[in-house]
Chain A
């Protein structure tokens, strides 16, 4: 099932916010240009807030699993992934680790259940990408892009056999912000995340600052 769901988040974050300076080798020069234009465009905000609808089509399930919620990304801090339906839960992903905040506002350290390794990888990839280093992305995927900076589509195909064992490809589309992300896994399971009401964030509200553990 959702083998590398965290990668979705990371990929989305990268598209939404990574800085423009990179010199890696995507499929073609025009793709490079477009990807960097998209990145430049998206990287202008300090942070982004959006609502998401996630639809997972999994072979083991009778029908697609739908969840909704909201997402806050703040470049200097990390990500808050808040699920509203079908149950309430909040995941806070920062450089130092991942914690889950349950419906009662209790923080539970999910380090033990999800493993230190995955968390460290997420935060490292995030840091790399947010530092404008797209090499981590290009190291894992072949990137194809078309459209204009105002309305674009990107297709990411794993170029690493290890990753290809579990993931078939990522598709992204958007304009000013990322609008949709579709992940196809090697076993045929598909996860689609639609983002709505995206808005730039320059200051974090107190509640979110608390979640990030900031003073």
Chain B
């Protein structure tokens, strides 16, 4: 007998091969286990998905600084129509959260703050600090000193930060302090709590800091538990109280939980579906197991390689990775079809040789699709591409080299009835669309598709990539409304060689912004210069005071005395001016004051030293940015030296748009490349008919989106690239199958349908993802692949058998 001998020949290298793969699997698995056992390798910071959009690294740094300064604030808003309930509930929440240990610190009741500390910082510099109105009044001399004094003494209106008459008889410092953008106008301190009143509702703010990064899963978990507990106890004691929260930690936690759910759903549903499909067709648990071994190897190696290369794993990659199961299993399915078709003549190595050309062409086209993803400058897409490339390469290699080592024994039976059924189906279907009719089918599809293409619209919104939990978004809006701040995503970066130049440029910008009128008007803007004017400005104000007020000390003294000031008060004030010696407030002194902490993000400080445009930078944040005034803001920034307008969301959208258009061109190029590849392998005409199904699939998919009114985004176009890579496989499998001398076309068609079904299942599940980018991927892939497989018989050679 020949059989035992051939088996023993196979056996030796087979064991080596098995051990080699086992080692690979062990290493990859252990690495993954080690990574997941330690600090979570999942990147839950949604902003990390964004590409670097700013040409200027300082602008990019400013985006990060602001995101950190504002994103790490965890704020709770306790609201009730009963003020006493809201306050008591806020205190209770503060105590519960504090006791949970999940937070670094929790502030419900404010520590007593001496407001005179703020006036204290400015007091020594008061002879160089003027608000614009006082500056104008002094400069044009329309208001006499006598009238200024009268107004100061008798006006019914004073601001919250009052100064002593003796220090500030004319009220200039008081006006300066009133102009400080210290708190948003909606908040007041009551019972030591920060309170906002809106209508009948009273809202109380509770602030908390995190003990670690908002993107650590341990921190997220602890915060989640603590807040859930706090909320439930709040519900028990105060049923009328509502709780809103905001902070990066909540978004990150929600995103992680959502994607973990999706990974489980897609993973388990794919596995079960694939197992059932394979069981139905192959009726062999062993084959299913082997298929999963090959797939699991692909996924584990992909996971390990991606974590090794990128360090952290994006949630997008994780979810996409789960859907790769359906594609990775295709290679083993093709192998099993050959195996079952071979029956008793099975030789594992020959089987591998038989299936190799088809798998190689299929792998090449798939790799081409994913390789294009790596060119797009989006971190998540690079990861997805890396994950997929490693995954399918491993699956491919395991089919060619591991499966032959495991699948030595010939099949006991083959599902001939299924194959025969499939062969009949293929025969009928080919008669409908194959051969010469193919051109008619193509023409018909094109005619139907063209109106759909004309209806295509596009969407480049940043939310494609960053989808925030809508419940949390609504809560954040509640907090923002109560607190009274809006924009933080659009701002100006002001740069200069020295801090002084930065301040002067920021002041020039502020003057321009104040000058905007009509639709371009801003509600306000935040700038370091509201706290620290440039030395030049302070000097000018000082000069103004010395020329207009202190030029005649005796007359000034007389004015004060006449208004009723005591002699010693007037003398002390005049002496204070003489002693002030043109003292200039510096940014560093302001930064050193403890109360400046909430505003320090306005000063970026020393930035890139080597750069030509200057070593220091600050940000100016406009409030009330609308589509109407945005173009004016951009041109205002352009018109001044050292100033850039940064709008991360708009930059990302622009980038989406640019790459969406580019990706159309790339798709055309990729199609051409695939066509040339096919023509090289199957001769010109054969190449055209093999490429035709996937070409039509791309066209039909686009038309469906047009008819359905779904706007196309970058991710649809990138997915079409994958449709090209994956969809081309089916025609290739069929063509190669038909080219094999001993092929059972029914078996080949069964394999193609099964491959397509598993891929469709996985990508179809991906189309239900909550992440818009993945949803676009899934929907496009599922649709494109469905059409490609249906049209795949077009690509079969016209004669049933050709010389191999």
Chain B residues with CB under 8 A of A159: 191
A65 to B188, CA, bound (A): 31
For A39-65 the 0/1 string (1 means CB < 8 A from B) is 000000000000000101011111101
The answer to whether A116 and B150 touch (CB under 8 A), given A6-B158, A58-B165, A60-B166, is: no
Chain A residues with CB under 8 A of B113: 162
Q: Decide: B191 and A113 in contact? CB cutoff 8 A.
A: no
For window 107-126 of B, CB contacts with A under 8 Å fall at 112-116
Cβ distance A109 to chain B, nearest Cβ, rounded Å: 9
Q: Decide: B154 and A67 in contact? CB cutoff 8 A.
A: yes
The answer to whether A139 and B131 touch (CB under 8 A), given A1-B162, A4-B160, A121-B160, is: no
Q: Decide: A139 and B83 in contact? CB cutoff 8 A.
A: yes
Q: Of B132, B153, B157, B569, which is within 8 A of A114 by CB? A: B157
Tell me, yes or no, whether B189 is within 8 Å of chain A by CB.
yes
Closest to B566 in A: A62
Q: Decide: A86 and B150 in contact? CB cutoff 8 A.
A: yes
Instruction: Report which residue of A2, A67, A117, A122 has the largest number of chain B beta carbons within 10 angstroms of its beta carbon.
Output: A117
For this complex, into which size category does the number of interface residues on chain A fall? 35 or more
Q: Decide: A114 and B178 in contact? CB cutoff 8 A.
A: yes
For window 180-215 of B, CB contacts with A under 8 Å fall at 182-183, 185-186, 188-192, 195, 197, 200, 202
Closest to B188 in A: A121
Tell me, yes or no, whether B550 is within 8 Å of chain A by CB.
no
Chain B residues with CB under 8 A of A122: 157
Cβ distance A72 to chain B, nearest Cβ, rounded Å: 13
For A100-133 the 0/1 string (1 means CB < 8 A from B) is 1000000000101111111111101000100001
Cβ distance A77 to chain B, nearest Cβ, rounded Å: 17
Cβ distance B759 to chain A, nearest Cβ, rounded Å: 60
Q: Decide: B157 and A98 in contact? CB cutoff 8 A.
A: yes
Cβ distance B14 to chain A, nearest Cβ, rounded Å: 81
Tell me, yes or no, whether B345 is within 8 Å of chain A by CB.
no
Closest to B202 in A: A135
Q: Decide: B175 and A136 in contact? CB cutoff 8 A.
A: no
A165 to B114, CA, bound (A): 8
Q: Decide: A5 and B158 in contact? CB cutoff 8 A.
A: yes
Cβ distance B709 to chain A, nearest Cβ, rounded Å: 44
Tell me, yes or no, whether B155 is within 8 Å of chain A by CB.
yes
Chain B residues with CB under 8 A of A136: 197
Cβ distance B198 to chain A, nearest Cβ, rounded Å: 9
Tell me, yes or no, whether A187 is within 8 Å of chain B by CB.
yes
For B85-122 the 0/1 string (1 means CB < 8 A from A) is 00000000000000000000000000011111000000
Closest to B189 in A: A162
Tell me, yes or no, whether A9 is within 8 Å of chain B by CB.
yes
Q: State the main secondary structure of chain A at its contact with B.
A: mixed
Q: Decide: B155 and A91 in contact? CB cutoff 8 A.
A: yes
Q: Decide: A86 and B154 in contact? CB cutoff 8 A.
A: yes
A110 to B158, CA, bound (A): 11
For B259-276 the 0/1 string (1 means CB < 8 A from A) is 000000000000000000
Closest to A61 in B: B564
A139 to B204, CA, bound (A): 13
For A10-38 the 0/1 string (1 means CB < 8 A from B) is 00000000000000110000000000000
Closest to B179 in A: A115
Chain B residues with CB under 8 A of A8: 156
The answer to whether A187 and B115 touch (CB under 8 A), given A91-B156, A115-B179, is: no
Q: Decide: B175 and A113 in contact? CB cutoff 8 A.
A: yes
Chain A residues with CB under 8 A of B189: 160, 162
Closest to B570 in A: A60
Tell me, yes or no, whether B84 is within 8 Å of chain A by CB.
yes
Cβ distance B701 to chain A, nearest Cβ, rounded Å: 55
Chain B residues with CB under 8 A of A91: 155-157
Cβ distance A84 to chain B, nearest Cβ, rounded Å: 11
Tell me, yes or no, whether B2 is within 8 Å of chain A by CB.
no
A171 to B170, CA, bound (A): 28
For window 124-150 of A, CB contacts with B under 8 Å fall at 124, 128, 133, 135-136, 139-140
Chain A residues with CB under 8 A of B162: 1-4, 166
Tell me, yes or no, whether A215 is within 8 Å of chain B by CB.
no
Cβ distance A7 to chain B, nearest Cβ, rounded Å: 9
The answer to whether A113 and B566 touch (CB under 8 A), given A87-B147, A87-B150, A118-B160, is: no
Closest to B115 in A: A165
Q: Decide: A110 and B191 in contact? CB cutoff 8 A.
A: no
A83 to B150, CA, bound (A): 11
Tell me, yes or no, whether B666 is within 8 Å of chain A by CB.
no
Tell me, yes or no, whether B134 is within 8 Å of chain A by CB.
yes
Beyond contacts A60-B566, A115-B175: 6 other A-B pairs, Cβ-Cβ < 8 A, are: A2-B162, A6-B158, A112-B132, A118-B178, A133-B200, A160-B190
Q: Could you list which residues of chain A lie within 8 angstroms of chain B, going by C-beta atoms?
A: 1-6, 8-9, 24-25, 54, 56, 58-63, 65, 67, 81, 83, 86-87, 89, 91, 93, 98, 100, 110, 112-122, 124, 128, 133, 135-136, 139-140, 159-162, 165-166, 187
Can you pick out 23 interface pairs between chain A and chain B where the beta carbons lie within 8 Å of each other?
A2-B162, A5-B156, A5-B157, A24-B83, A60-B164, A60-B169, A61-B165, A62-B566, A65-B154, A86-B150, A89-B154, A112-B132, A112-B179, A114-B175, A115-B159, A117-B182, A117-B183, A117-B185, A121-B160, A139-B195, A160-B189, A160-B192, A165-B115
